[in-house]
């Protein structure tokens, strides 16, 4: 029997989500590397954490590694009566935790502050505080208060109060009683010679999307009960009965009216098209047709005037214009860390002109970004309003009038394109989806001019261009339906 493994705050939280995730995190094989977008979000969180610590400075920074040194330095800092200790390290019953900010009173009493780059307190933050408190109290400290310091969603740069301090002492207290039992169960899992045989379930996405989904969900076919639009918890009832494929569903299950086109398409193997609805939508279009897409950058710590934490800042656009059968293309990318919005909107308004429909995929996104620019720069308000009035949403075709089982229950452009226009694909591009585009954009603007910067810029331009070309080609298919 292997010895009990040391637990950390992250493995404890993983253990609350799923025993198999805990086992893999502690015993291996290692979890897959985070993708570029996840890493980008983690880096943003680190940047916010550093800034938060500065607000409590000066303080004693404890080095992250090696563990023994971190524990020793924390002990010494407490002995010396240091008030603010960052990344304070503690170990108790082989559980190792670090407190982002420890505010020590020098008499064995302290507060703990967990810094989060989210704009609100999340349920898992409470468990995070509870396990820290459990370990600190095991070390003889009394934790008077437990706080989450998170981004203030109402902060507007440059302003006051980028962070909000939220007292979660009571909430964390209420989780303390469960900790011994949770730890017993986790240690039992970790002592076993083999990983637990945990089945998939709603826990795979709660509270976080599990990094092992690619492995654990392999047995679920591409089109399954999980693809049925808005099926909610019913899908798990079917799954637990061994009903995974659409062809396994019982006859009595007809689905709600909005699920019927998908089920009918699965059963017939053909798309279900509401030709009347599609025809009236297509009749709304006015030439020239401008197919438009934006890319954005989200910064946890805003740097441009008038922006908020995590606001989506428009940095790039692509527009394909179709007029009398001829296709043209224009594009823009802001390639430095300065404020991109004025150049973005001026070049875009010029490219769109005053006539024709502006076709987007999921209008709330583009309309929302245009609204934000109009609020920040009222001199563009009238022209932006006129563009918004011309917006036509291609996604609504697939939401309301055209369903193909091949979309696997999602109407995202990435699911719709391979079915509607199989010859057009993102597969050969370095950047294949919006999250990666954002991570790569952040990397590009951090680089000095040169080969690597130019290479990323080219990849981003290709990606955004393909998004709008995809809409053009889908439009051509839709136009041919009678
Ligand atoms: S994918 Fe689901 S079952 Fe697999 S480890 Fe993650 S949470 Fe557990």
Could you identify the atom of ligand 1 that is nearest to the CA of residue 200? Answer: 3
**pLDDT at site 347:** 98
Residue after which a domain boundary falls, among 267, 292, 317: 267
Number of domains in the chain: 3
**pLDDT at site 65:** 85
2: in domain: no
Weakest mean pLDDT among 184-198, 244-258, 328-342: 244-258
178 to each of 206, 249, 397, how far by Cα in Å?
Answer: 19, 39, 50
60: in domain: yes
Q: Read off the pLDDT of each residue in 339-349 and give the average, rounded to a whole number.
A: 98
If we measure between CA atoms, which residue out of 337, 336, 338, 470 comes closest to residue 416? Answer: 470
Q: Read off the pLDDT of each residue in 350-358 and give the average, rounded to a whole number.
A: 98
Q: Are residues 340 and 241 in the same domain?
A: no
Kindly give the distance from the C-alpha atom of residue 154 to the centroid of ligand 1, in angstroms, as a whole number.
Answer: 35
Kindly give the distance from the C-alpha atom of residue 186 to the centroid of ligand 1, in angstroms, as a whole number.
Answer: 15
400 to each of 97, 262, 273, 471, how far by Cα in Å?
Answer: 50, 11, 9, 17
**pLDDT at site 5:** 73
Q: Are residues 244 and 281 in the same domain?
A: no
Could you identify the atom of ligand 1 that is nearest to the CA of residue 24? Answer: 5
**pLDDT at site 55:** 84
Q: Are residues 240 and 294 in the same domain?
A: no
* 59-68 per-position pLDDT tens digit: 999 998 899 9
Weakest mean pLDDT among 3-7, 26-30, 396-400, 465-469: 3-7
Chain Cα centroid distance, residue 211: 13
What's the CA angle centered on 194, arms 190 and 197, to 5 degrees? 95
Kindly give the distance from the C-alpha atom of residue 40 to the centroid of ligand 1, in angstroms, as a whole number.
Answer: 23
Q: Is the pLDDT of residue 2 over 70?
A: no
- Among 29, 208, 213, 217, the mutation site with the greatest number of ligand 1 atoms within 8 A of its Cβ is 213
28 lies in which domain range?
Answer: 7-191
212 lines ligand 1 (CB under 6 A): yes
Kindly give the distance from the C-alpha atom of residue 310 to the centroid of ligand 1, in angstroms, as a whole number.
Answer: 28
Q: Are residues 259 and 284 in the same domain?
A: no
445 lines ligand 1 (CB under 6 A): no
136: in domain: yes
Query: What torsion, rounded to 10 degrees, do the Cα atoms 432, 434, 436, 437 define?
Result: 90
349 lines ligand 1 (CB under 6 A): no
196: in domain: no
Q: Are residues 158 and 283 in the same domain?
A: no
Q: Are residues 306 and 369 in the same domain?
A: yes
Q: Are residues 279 and 263 in the same domain?
A: no
- Higher-confidence residue of 273 and 234: namely 273
Q: Is the pLDDT of residue 295 over 80?
A: yes
Q: Are residues 403 and 386 in the same domain?
A: yes
Percent of the chain with pLDDT over 70: 99
Q: Is the pLDDT of residue 137 over 80?
A: yes
The answer to whether 287 and 140 have CB atoms below 8 angstroms apart is: no
376: in domain: yes
Residue after which a domain boundary falls, among 142, 169, 191: 191
* 194-229 per-position pLDDT tens digit: 999 999 999 999 999 999 999 999 999 999 999 999
Q: Are residues 415 and 339 in the same domain?
A: yes
Q: Read off the pLDDT of each residue in 413-441 and give the average, rounded to a whole number.
A: 95
406: in domain: yes
Kindly give the distance from the C-alpha atom of residue 29 to the centroid of ligand 1, in angstroms, as a whole number.
Answer: 14
Grade residue 1 by pLDDT with cuts at 50, 70 and 90.
low
Residue 109 CB contacts under 8 Å (≥ 6 apart), including other chains: 141, 142, 143, 144
Q: Are residues 99 and 242 in the same domain?
A: no
Q: Read off the pLDDT of each residue in 98-114 and give the average, rounded to a whole number.
A: 95
Q: Are residues 252 and 277 in the same domain?
A: no
Tokens of 432: 């294949």
DSSP 140: T
The answer to whether 332 and 316 have CB atoms below 8 angstroms apart is: yes
200 lines ligand 1 (CB under 6 A): yes
Q: Is the pLDDT of residue 84 over 80?
A: yes
197: in domain: no
If we measure between CA atoms, which residue out of 108, 110, 126 comes closest to residue 118? Answer: 126
What does the DSSP assignment read for 169-235? HHHHHHHHTTHHHHHHHHHHHHHSSS---PPP-GGGGSSS--TTHHHHTTTS-SSSGGGSTT-TTHH
Residue after which a domain boundary falls, among 191, 226, 247: 191
- Among 15, 22, 204, 236, the mutation site with the greatest number of ligand 1 atoms within 8 A of its Cβ is 204
If we measure between CA atoms, which residue out of 194, 179, 103 comes closest to residue 142? Answer: 103
1: in domain: no
Compute the distance between CA of residue 262 and CA of residue 258 in angstroms, rounded to an integer. Answer: 8
213 lines ligand 1 (CB under 6 A): yes
Residue 451 sits in a domain of what CATH number?
Answer: 3.30.420.10
- Among 14, 212, 219, the mutation site with the greatest number of ligand 1 atoms within 8 A of its Cβ is 212
Grade residue 449 by pLDDT with cuts at 50, 70 and 90.
confident
Characterize 361-384 residue by residue with b for buried, 16 or more Cβ atoms within 10 angstroms of its Cβ, and e for exposed: bbbebbbebbebbbebeeebeebb
Q: Are residues 231 and 283 in the same domain?
A: no
Q: Read off the pLDDT of each residue in 419-442 and give the average, rounded to a whole number.
A: 94
Q: Is 60 exposed, middle or buried (0-12, 13-18, 19+ CB in 10 A)?
A: buried
Residue 58 sits in a domain of what CATH number?
Answer: 3.90.320.10
* 16-45 per-position pLDDT tens digit: 999 999 999 999 999 999 999 999 999 998
Query: What rounded mean pLDDT belongs to the chain?
Result: 95
**pLDDT at site 136:** 98
- Among 14, 16, 20, the mutation site with the greatest number of ligand 1 atoms within 8 A of its Cβ is 20
């Amino acid at each position: 029997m292997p010895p009990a493994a040391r637990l950390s705050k992250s493995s404890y939280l993983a253990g609350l989500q799923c025993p198999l995730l805990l086992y893999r995190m502690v015993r291996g094989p290692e979890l897959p590397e985070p993708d570029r977008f996840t890493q980008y979000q983690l880096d943003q969180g680190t940047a916010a954490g550093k800034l938060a610590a500065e607000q409590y400075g000066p303080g004693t920074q404890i080095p992250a590694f090696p563990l023994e040194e971190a524990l020793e330095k924390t002990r010494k800092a407490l002995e010396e009566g240091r008030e603010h200790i960052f990344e304070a390290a503690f170990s108790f019953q082989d559980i190792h935790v670090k407190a982002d900010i420890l505010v020590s009173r020098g008499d064995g009493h302290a507060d703990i502050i967990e810094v989060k780059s989210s704009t609100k307190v999340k349920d898992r933050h409470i468990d995070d505080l509870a396990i820290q408190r459990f370990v600190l109290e095991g070390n003889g400290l009394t934790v008077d208060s437990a706080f989450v310091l998170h981004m203030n969603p109402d902060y507007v740069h440059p302003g006051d109060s980028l962070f909000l301090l939220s007292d979660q002492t009571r909430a964390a207290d209420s989780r303390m009683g469960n900790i011994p039992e949770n730890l017993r169960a986790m240690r039992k899992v970790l002592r076993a010679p083999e990983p637990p045989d945990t089945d998939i379930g709603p826990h795979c996405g709660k509270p976080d999307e599990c990094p092992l989904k690619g492995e654990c969900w392999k047995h679920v076919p591409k089109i399954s009960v999980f693809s049925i639009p808005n099926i909610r918890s019913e899908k798990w009832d079917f799954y637990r009965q061994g009903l995974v494929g659409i062809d396994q569903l019982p006859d009595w299950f007809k689905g709600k009216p909005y699920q019927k086109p998908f089920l009918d398409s699965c059963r017939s193997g053909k798309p279900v098209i509401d030709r009347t609805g599609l025809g009236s939508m297509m009749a709304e279009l006015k030439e020239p047709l401008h197919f438009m897409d934006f890319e954005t950058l989200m910064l946890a710590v805003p740097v441009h005037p008038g922006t908020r934490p995590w606001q989506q800042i428009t940095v790039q656009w692509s527009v394909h214009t179709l007029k009398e059968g001829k296709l043209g293309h224009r594009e823009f990318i802001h390639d430095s860390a300065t404020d991109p919005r004025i150049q973005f909107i001026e070049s875009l308004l010029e490219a769109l002109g005053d006539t024709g429909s502006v076709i987007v995929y999921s209008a709330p996104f583009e309309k929302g970004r245009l609204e934000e620019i109009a609020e920040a720069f009222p001199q563009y308000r009238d022209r932006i309003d006129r563009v918004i009035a011309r917006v036509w949403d291609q996604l609504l075709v697939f939401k309301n009038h055209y369903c193909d089982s091949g979309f696997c229950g999602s109407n995202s452009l990435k699911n719709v394109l391979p079915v509607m226009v199989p010859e057009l694909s993102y597969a050969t591009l370095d950047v294949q989806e919006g999250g990666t585009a954002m991570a790569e954009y952040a990397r590009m603007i951090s680089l000095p001019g040169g080969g690597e910067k130019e290479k990323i810029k080219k990849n981003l331009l290709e990606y955004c261009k393909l998004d709008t070309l995809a809409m053009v080609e889908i439009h051509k298919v839709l136009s041919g339906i009678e």
